[in-house]
Amino acid sequence: MPPTFDLLVIGDANPDVIVGPLATPLAFGQREQLIDRGALTLGGSAAITACGAARLGLRVAFAGRVGDDGAGHYMRDQLAAQGVDVSGLHLDPSLPTPLTVIVTRGDDRAILTAPGTLAATSGRDVPEHLLTSARHVHAASYFLMPGLATDLPGLFDTARAAGVTTSLDTNDDPSGRWDRAALAPVLARTDILLPNAAEAHRLAGTDGTSVAAAAELLAHQVPLVAVKNGADGALCHDGRTLLTTAGIRVTPQDAVGAGDSFNAGFLAGRLAGRPIAEALDLAAACGALSTRAAGGTTAQPTWEEALTHLTVNGDSPS
């Protein structure tokens, strides 16, 4: 029987309240500061990746946990509106939906998250039939969900036993510990690792060296590592070969979720059978194009749009 879904995404889903850009330091003392823009959008690394993949034409399912509250229903509705199957998104009757406030300043941002259901999310929130009925399983925000992190090796084992490939974007570790020993069993079951440059250094323990060196070291633990490198584009390493892309030129409005859109593009490229170099170009284009509007999902491209921008910028994908 053919897989029901191309992609199952496991992880975090929460509304993002995005305000900025802030021209001066954030002021306390009951001071009110005016900024140019504010937006309420779909957020969470996993949720943004799921929406980006659906926008690119993949059949996508989502598994995780939100509160049985207004914010949780907002997330279910927003994901479903983007074409994502939400039958695996559980509503918690006692804990609130996570909420993130993002304050932007230039090309940087401060992220404040009230965790809500994040700590309660676990492998029990991931239906086995979804793990085995997708072509690929992607997990995000490893360090935000300790219960899910503990269960992730078993979830990936179930998926891989059914012939399903796996990927991971750990995202940031708010504790600053970056427990590589705890992460090792997950990496041993991961086919594609998708950090940004700062995360790659922390995961590899290579602060002070090049991003390429961090990617190469990580590629000895995971078959394929694709690293988001901001304005410098992206790079990829399989333990033997380093590939790079400069990305495409856009006028950015908001970089929130760009890395998650990159993830969606890379996975869509690989699931379409594209060579690694083409998937990397496509991923960088998807990440850049997502920055054209506020929020992580508003400007996510379609497959055709991403390919068109690659062609305009000099590549010629078929």
Q: What's 212's domain CATH number?
A: 3.40.1190.20
Examine residue 143 and state whether it is found in any structural domain, yes or no.
yes
Q: What is the spatial distance between Cα 167 and Cα 303, in angstroms, rounded to a whole number?
A: 20
User: Where is average pLDDT lowest: 141-150, 176-185, 201-210, 250-259?
Assistant: 250-259
Specify the pLDDT at position 315: 53
Three-state SS annotation for the chain: CCCCEEEEEECCCEEEEEEECCCCCCCCCCCCCCCCEEEEEEECHHHHHHHHHHHCCCCEEEEEEEECCHHHHHHHHHHHHCCCEEEEEEEECCCCCCEEEEEEECCEEEEEEECCCHHHCCHHHCCHHHHCCEEEEEEECHHHCHHHHHHHHHHHHHHHHCCCEEEEECCCCCCCCCCHHHHHHHHCCCCEECCEHHHHHHHHCCCCCCHHHHHHHHCCCCCEEEEECHHHCEEEECCCCEEEECCCCCCCCCCCCHHHHHHHHHHHHHHCCCCHHHHHHHHHHHHHHHHHCCCCCCCCCCHHHHHHHHHHCCCCCC
Examine residue 87 and state whether it is found in any structural domain, yes or no.
yes
For residue 65, give its domain range: 12-26+34-313
Q: What is the spatial distance between Cα 75 and Cα 141, in angstroms, rounded to a whole number?
A: 17
Examine residue 200 and state whether it is found in any structural domain, yes or no.
yes
Buried b (16+ CB within 10 A) or exposed e, 272-302: eebebebbbbbbbbbbbbbbebbbbbbbbbe
193 has which bridge partners? 168, 225
Examine residue 38 and state whether it is found in any structural domain, yes or no.
yes
Query: pLDDT, tens digit, for every residue of 9-66?
Result: 999 999 999 998 898 888 899 999 999 989 899 999 999 999 999 999 999 999 999 9
Examine residue 1 and state whether it is found in any structural domain, yes or no.
no
Number of domains in the chain: 1
Specify the pLDDT at position 312: 64
The phi and psi torsions of 111 (rounded to 5 degrees) equal -125, 120
Mean local confidence (pLDDT), 178-192: 97
CA angle, corner 99, sides to 70 and 81, nearest 5? 55
**What share of the chain has pLDDT > 70, as a percent?**
97
Examine residue 167 and state whether it is found in any structural domain, yes or no.
yes
Provide the pLDDT confidence category of residue 185 given band limits of 50, 70 and 90.
Answer: very high
Strand order from edge to edge, sheet including 108-114: 37-43, 14-20, 99-105, 108-114
> Is 70 exceeded by the pLDDT of residue 294?
yes
Buried b (16+ CB within 10 A) or exposed e, 46-71: bbbbbbbbbbbebbbbbbbbbbebeb
Examine residue 248 and state whether it is found in any structural domain, yes or no.
yes
Q: What is the spatial distance between Cα 200 and Cα 196, in angstroms, rounded to a whole number?
A: 6
Examine residue 90 and state whether it is found in any structural domain, yes or no.
yes
Instruction: Fill in the amino acid letter for 23.
Output: A
Query: pLDDT, tens digit, for every residue of 58-95?
Result: 999 999 999 999 999 999 999 999 999 999 999 999 99
> Is 70 exceeded by the pLDDT of residue 314?
no
Q: Which of 265, 269, 276 is nearest to 300 (CA)?
A: 265
Specify the pLDDT at position 318: 45
